[in-house]
């Protein structure tokens, strides 16, 4: 199973109403077909009443195995259904990589 598929599978434990996992490794100075840099956009009612750091901690706990090895970077955009609706279903774009000599 790919790392992306594993992330998608494991995050189902948080009952997302929307989940998008994007492999952004190609935007960094890593070998072709790497799975090291990901962006997760997730909407879940489980985030209700939680500050962003607590939401992130939930993700880190679920993805502990991936974060201890192959995943170098994980951008998280975590919303309640109400927050997602207020954002009209949009999340920030990722910045361009500025390190590692990549383009």
Tell me, what CATH number does 20's domain have?
Answer: 3.30.300.90
User: What average pLDDT does this structure show over 66-90?
Assistant: 94
- What number of other Cβ atoms are within 10 A of residue 52's Cβ? 10
In a domain, 94, yes or no: no
Distance CA(99)–CA(66), nearest Å, equals: 22
Name the average pLDDT for the chain. Answer: 89
The pLDDT assigned to 103 comes to: 44
Distance CA(94)–CA(27), nearest Å, equals: 10
92 pLDDT tier (thresholds 50, 70, 90): confident
In terms of residue numbers, what domain contains 37?
A: 3-86
In a domain, 52, yes or no: yes
In a domain, 57, yes or no: yes
Q: What is the DSSP letter of 53?
A: H
**What is the pTM (predicted TM-score) of this model?**
0.86
In a domain, 32, yes or no: yes
In a domain, 76, yes or no: yes
How much of the chain exceeds pLDDT 90, in percent?
65
In a domain, 100, yes or no: no
**Whether residue 27 has pLDDT greater than 90:** no
How much of the chain exceeds pLDDT 70, in percent?
88
């Amino acid at each position: 199973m790919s790392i992306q598929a594993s992330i998608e599978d494991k995050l189902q434990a948080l009952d997302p109403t929307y989940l998008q996992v994007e492999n952004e490794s190609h935007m960094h100075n890593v070998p072709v077909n790497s799975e090291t840099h990901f962006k997760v956009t997730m909407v879940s009612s489980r985030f209700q009443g939680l500050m962003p750091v607590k939401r992130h901690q939930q993700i880190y706990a679920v993805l502990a195995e991936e974060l201890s090895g192959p995943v170098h970077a994980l951008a998280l955009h975590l919303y309640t259904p109400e927050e997602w609706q207020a954002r009209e279903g949009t999340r920030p774009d990722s910045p361009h990589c500025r390190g590692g000599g990549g383009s």
